[in-house]
Structure 1
Amino acid sequence: MTFNNLREHLQQHVVIGDGAMATLLYQFGVPVGSCYEELNLTHPALIRSVHEAYIRAGAQLIETNTFRVNREVLTRFGLEQKVGEINRTAVKVAQEAVAVAEKNAFIIGSMGSILAGRVRTEPLVSYRSLYEEQASALLESGVDGIMLETFEDLEELLLVLELMLSLTDRPILAHLATPQVGRTRDGYTVTRSFELMRKAGADVIGLNCRLGPTEMLRTLEQTQVPEGALLSIFPNAGRSGFVEGKLSFKSSPEYFADYALRLRDEGVRLIGGCCGTTPDHIRAIAQALQELSPIQRVNPDLKENNQDKEKDQVRFHIQPQAHVKAYTKDQRTIIERAQEEHTVIVEFDSPKGLNTEDFFNGCQALDSAGAAAITLADNSLANVRMSNLALGALLKERYDIEPLLHVACRDRNLIGQQSHLMGLHALGIHQILVITGDPSRYGDLPGASSVFDSNSFELIRMTKQLNEGLSFSGQAMNHSAQFIVGTAFNPYVRNFETAIQRLERKIEAGADFVMTQPVYDGETLQKIYEGTKHLPIPVFVGIMPLTSQRNAEFLHNEVPGISLTEEALQRMSGLKGEKARQEGIAMSKELLDQAVKVFNGIYLITPFNYYKMTAELTEYVLNICGNSNGEKVEFYDSACPNKNRSF
């Protein structure tokens, strides 16, 4: 196809793009950390087969396997002298795939961000020659256009757009990868970004990577798109996660097909997939959009939307209100409490910004409702939040509220990890949850390193070693720590028995209690009970109230480790706002009625900082169990906290 046809085709049709290359190669056994683009030279048949699979699935536009083929990246693999060769060969392989498949498809040269979410240490202009070298090779090889993708910083993307206009008049498809809904990493709203990208000469503007279908749709719903601009969306297959030791993505092809229709309703003309998507996803999209014409984009009314306004200035020197308790603080650990009575712990997210007022107000409300501890995540989903150590210390010192801190393996090497734990001990924070942590590359600073000096088993063992007065290296510390260590449990795995065996090994390593992923149905509750009733430690079963239909769909289809029943999805269907939250609370109460029959430990997860929801649920648990005033409910064997009970 000639390069002019793509512009014309997008004016009249919804075009189906291809899906992921790197994550699909990973599924085929190519190790993480490999130079996937070198395979154009060493294993061209493999790359050709991926292109063919996408074309046969219905892709009308494929991207060359050249996302990182620039001198900056190839230098890491000793391939810096092969920039031109790899780019040219990649185009040839794609052309061969189109010929073999005997179907028409546009071939677009893929170019990714060089900055790639890293902290900038050199002027952006220094990257210009690197981009020019790659673009020239792709254009000389006869691509139908250039795809600029996964740019987290608008300013870098604008630099490349300026360069491309000086090199070619072929179509330029420019894509941002936003770490959050509606805003780039360098602080621009998507509305402003699209405006500047269009002015800079991009033929097609859009989003790819980082977010799944739900969050990309939300972004479009709050974005003003320049009149006449062509929109492109390539979502990830939901959030990534490690399932049974392998990187995986959650969203199904059927879910993608449904969202393809919704994206078309938003005026999107080019729809494909990014990380985690496969030919099955593209086939589902193609079938859903078959013979459908494009819809003219209608921008949302943003008169009442403050997206393009800066947030309120940070309030400095906030003086928290004095917190007076009407009763003596319970000195028992959550383990001791759960061995005697129903005990509720509540997760409440640390703030993403510097204003802590709402956070402390929420914690006070949860504490007053009867929460035994406030659990604070450790930069969950690899998104930066305020230090849980600092906030935990302030909760304890200023408000006499007991924190339970998550400690991830991801962010600290063994030196930092031991130092961190020693600091917790000095602050009197002894209750922790050890977790692996989500990979950095999928958070809001994807250029950050994921350390993983230890796994969760090893960190549990080494933390309990501190309780014996020995450092990680085995040296005497002249004092013993007093850590109570929790571990996480995901019931939504293919092999439940293997997951239970893994949990048993964590207990052997020293885990004192278990916190589960959120549960949304009685069948899963009973499954967890039956699988864990023999364990000698308390299990805190996780429950997180739903807040809307879209929230339910997102959790079910895009977040690893969470599954909802069809009944739950139907009950949230069509609901949003306060009505949806009330239904979410009602559903959680029904589940809690069942949970308290077999579990003393209840772990409530606050959604979107709606702490009033989990405060109400905390009070509900303590009221129905008759220990809202600290009354003991001794009804099971404390040596085996989950046995001899049934629904």
Structure 2
Amino acid sequence: MSESFTEALGRRVLLGDGAMGTLARASGGLVEGHGAELCVIAPELVSALHERYLAAGADVLQTHTFAASRPRLERHGLARRVREINLAGARLAAAVRDAAGRPAWVAGSVSPATPPGLAVPVEEARAAIAIREQVEALVEGGVDLVVLETFSRAAELLAAIRAVQDVTDLPVVAQATFVDEDGELLTAAGESPADVVARLVDAGAVAVGTNCTLGPQGLLDVVRRMGPTGGPFLSAQPNAGLPHVVADRSVRFAGDAEHFARYVLRYVEAGARLVGGCCGTTPEHTAAAARALTTHDAWSPPATPRDARVVPAPRAVPDPTPAPDEEIDQPGPGRGAVERWLRGRPASREFLVAAEVAGAGGPDEHLSRARRAVSGGASVLWVSRSRARRATTSTTGLAVHLHDRIDVDTALTVTSWQTSLLALQADLLGLHALGVRTLVCETGNPPVHAEQAVGDGVWEVDGLELLRLAADLNRGVDADGAELGTATVFRLGARVTPGADDLDREAERAVAKVEAGAEFLVSRPVFELERLRTVLDALDAAGRRVPVLASVGALTGYAQAEHLRHEVPDVVVPDAVVEPMRRAGDGPDAARTGLSLAAELVAEAAALVEGVVVRWPGSAVPGLDPATAVTRLRAAANGVDGSRVRR
């Protein structure tokens, strides 16, 4: 090859490939052990995947050797095959490169030596030995560079760079992964993008950057906060979007190719020189990115990369935090709203307004938000689950805290993912004893993991079976069929997903949930009503119609609308919502536009459903806080909000 990777990167933007594991599974390449084992048991498949990415326009092919170090392979009984697997993986990619007929480079993929789920990293000396062993085999197999990817601690990434440099003088690309914890972009060790760059800038890597965990939009913020580095080039490889578990309990990623491609261009405008995809991305994403890059002057770096940025979302206004010993400032509307709502006759049933309690902060911050929502007219507080990975107040603890401090019904989402049947039963009995009696049962999705976007988890019980368990407890029977001393008196709800890809199946599931014991249903966020109407028609046809709460939220800006539309699974945001938000942008007035759109939706929904769950960001933004949102949407449901948004 006449031009080295470093020379090419200095001259132009290079496009990397996408996920290998995602594509392998989609192509039927399933192994009971480690995914990299495909390099030796199904080499034709791995070669075909590399060829597809090359044909799509990728300049850089990553070996299918992520997590193929000794500490990671030994968990699958493959510790003796480290060299064999990595050598095979490198040779497969190198053969495709050599037959390409155009410049292309092979990157040896190396992950942290620490397996996921371990609270303490592998001891530093052992990790260095493992990385050197893996890299030696990759270099022997013919790689052109080494990519250290998905590292969640800067110290571990720095040590890995040094371990690679002990073995070879090939260029190194060093990538950390970050999670978005309520607006803060941090590694698992609590480091910001700027912190990571500061640790790595003089380590000798040809490029530093970020990959995985976040979707295209979130990763752009990381890239901007990382650059300019003052030395190494920048790299960016996002996931396709958020992962979610589908009907067969496999994992799918939200995120379409054209959306991905738009953000690849924005990475380049922000200074990135190596761009590509991570989990959930496919050759379709790579091809879309290649087409997008032809419209950009990608052969030379931007003149002022830091100036090329979208207007930031409105800055959050911190919530006032009450003192720990603050007295309850208002008693609330009293208990029993859910009971009255469920027992009411359809013709005279009151339209229920519940307020979601979510976002960053501790119990006192949440208590402050909840009080403001109640002051705005909410008769129920709903504590939803969180996908955060950082330490935070448990949703169960938060629900009990709110129940104890505010005289109002408190509902709690209970998820079955990663919890055994008997543990769930114990949790339910504990909640009942503590006074939390309104539950929304769902299977749930795992939180985004800094290394594995999702894990298989414990699937002993899904949302439907969780409902049946709770319904049995209400009948005085436990999971083994034994009689309890006292039956529980839960009011049970379940989730319904109008934005599901297979709406017919979702409607069937909704009917099954009612038959399993759900007394009401709560939709996932809706921005249009036709798909929800389809589910309700199926319930009516089956004679299983129960009260329904539609989850409605006020968008705070165009960036949020774009994120929900393209990166969040099972959420449909129509053009009629996106276009007004595009005009509103991300400035101070955008939240008011979002709230007006939500009010219009609630006014229409009042004739279709029996209530709404009002969702809002954890912190107040200009024009939108819990009290404002609840008051405005309650008025819309009662037909007294007359504002309209120009479409």
TM-score of the aligned structures, taking structure 2 as reference length: 0.89
- Tell me, yes or no, if structure 1 residue 456 matches structure 2 residue 466: no
Aligned residue identity for 2:599: K
After TM superposition, the structure 1 stretch with the greater mean CA deviation from structure 2, 335-344 or 69-78, is 335-344
Q: Which residue of 2 aligns with 1:564?
A: 573
1:257 pairs with 257, 261, 264, which one? 261
Shift of 1:73: 1.6
- Tell me, yes or no, if structure 1 residue 325 matches structure 2 residue 337: no
Q: Which residue of 2 aligns with 1:155?
A: 155
Shift of 1:408: 0.9
- Tell me, yes or no, if structure 1 residue 69 matches structure 2 residue 68: yes
Contact 2:177–2:210 (Cα < 8 Å) also in 1: yes
Shift of 1:206: 0.6
- 1:459/1:522 CA distance change after superposition, 3 Å: closer
Matches of 1:203 and 1:235, distance apart in 2: 19
Q: Which residue of 2 aligns with 1:643?
A: none
Q: Which residue of 2 aligns with 1:594?
A: 604
After TM superposition, the structure 1 stretch with the greater mean CA deviation from structure 2, 327-336 or 559-568, is 327-336
Show structure 1 runs of 4+ deviating over 6 A: 314-317, 443-449
- Tell me, yes or no, if structure 1 residue 544 matches structure 2 residue 548: no
- Tell me, yes or no, if structure 1 residue 466 matches structure 2 residue 479: no
% identical aligned pairs? 28
Matches of 1:175 and 1:464, distance apart in 2: 48
Matches of 1:35 and 1:576, distance apart in 2: 44
Aligned residue identity for 2:176: L
- 1:316/1:341 CA distance change after superposition, 3 Å: closer
Shift of 1:405: 0.6
Contact 2:215–2:238 (Cα < 8 Å) also in 1: yes
Aligned residue identity for 2:297: L
Matches of 1:317 and 1:411, distance apart in 2: 35
Shift of 1:607: 2.8
Q: Which residue of 1 aligns with 2:634?
A: 622
Matches of 2:476 and 2:65, distance apart in 1: 53
Matches of 2:451 and 2:384, distance apart in 1: 16
- 1:76/1:300 CA distance change after superposition, 3 Å: same
Q: Which residue of 1 aligns with 2:645?
A: none
Matches of 2:332 and 2:237, distance apart in 1: 54
- 1:447/1:552 CA distance change after superposition, 3 Å: closer
Shift of 1:30: 3.2
Contact 1:253–1:284 (Cα < 8 Å) also in 2: yes
Matches of 1:445 and 1:27, distance apart in 2: 17
Secondary structure of the residue that 2:149 maps to in structure 1? strand
- Tell me, yes or no, if structure 1 residue 576 matches structure 2 residue 586: yes
Matches of 1:95 and 1:444, distance apart in 2: 26
- 1:66/1:15 CA distance change after superposition, 3 Å: same
- 1:288/1:224 CA distance change after superposition, 3 Å: closer
Q: How does 1:353-372 map to 2 (within 5 A)?
A: 353=361, 355-372=362-379
Aligned residue identity for 1:619: T
After TM superposition, the structure 1 stretch with the greater mean CA deviation from structure 2, 441-450 or 524-533, is 441-450
- Tell me, yes or no, if structure 1 residue 81 matches structure 2 residue 80: yes
Shift of 1:122: 4.7
Secondary structure of the residue that 2:201 maps to in structure 1? helix
Aligned residue identity for 2:91: K
Aligned residue identity for 1:45: E
Contact 1:240–1:442 (Cα < 8 Å) also in 2: no
Contact 1:338–1:601 (Cα < 8 Å) also in 2: no
1:184 pairs with 164, 187, 199, which one? 187
After TM superposition, the structure 1 stretch with the greater mean CA deviation from structure 2, 165-174 or 613-622, is 613-622
- Tell me, yes or no, if structure 1 residue 218 matches structure 2 residue 221: yes
Q: Which residue of 1 aligns with 2:52?
A: 53
For each residue in 1:558-594, what CA deviation from the matched residue of structure 2 results, as whole angstroms up to 9, or x when unmatched? 0001121112111111511431100000100111110
Aligned residue identity for 1:63: Q
Shift of 1:406: 0.7
Secondary structure of the residue that 1:504 maps to in structure 2? helix
Matches of 2:450 and 2:114, distance apart in 1: 15
Q: Which residue of 1 aligns with 2:522?
A: 515
Matches of 1:473 and 1:235, distance apart in 2: 45
Contact 2:333–2:408 (Cα < 8 Å) also in 1: no
RMSD: 2.7
After TM superposition, the structure 1 stretch with the greater mean CA deviation from structure 2, 55-64 or 240-249, is 240-249
Contact 1:350–1:387 (Cα < 8 Å) also in 2: no
Matches of 1:335 and 1:439, distance apart in 2: 31
Contact 1:516–1:542 (Cα < 8 Å) also in 2: yes
- 1:613/1:460 CA distance change after superposition, 3 Å: same
Aligned residue identity for 2:203: A
Secondary structure of the residue that 1:115 maps to in structure 2? coil
Q: Which residue of 2 aligns with 1:639?
A: none
Aligned residue identity for 2:40: L
Query: What are structure 1's unaligned runs of at least 5 residues?
Result: 306-311, 629-647
Q: How does 1:75-224 map to 2 (within 5 A)?
A: 75-117=74-116, 118-120=118-120, 122-180=122-180, 182-224=185-227
After TM superposition, the structure 1 stretch with the greater mean CA deviation from structure 2, 99-108 or 15-24, is 99-108
Aligned residue identity for 1:573: R
Contact 1:322–1:399 (Cα < 8 Å) also in 2: yes
TM-score of the aligned structures, taking structure 1 as reference length: 0.89
Shift of 1:519: 1.3
Secondary structure of the residue that 1:182 maps to in structure 2? strand
For each residue in 1:284-342, what CA deviation from the matched residue of structure 2 results, as whole angstroms up to 9, or x when unmatched? 1011102633324544799xx9xxxxxx9x99972233232375554552523695110
Matches of 1:224 and 1:443, distance apart in 2: 21
- 1:153/1:195 CA distance change after superposition, 3 Å: same
Aligned residue identity for 1:211: L
Contact 1:545–1:613 (Cα < 8 Å) also in 2: no
Q: How does 1:380-395 map to 2 (within 5 A)?
A: 380=387, 385-395=392-402
Matches of 1:474 and 1:382, distance apart in 2: 36
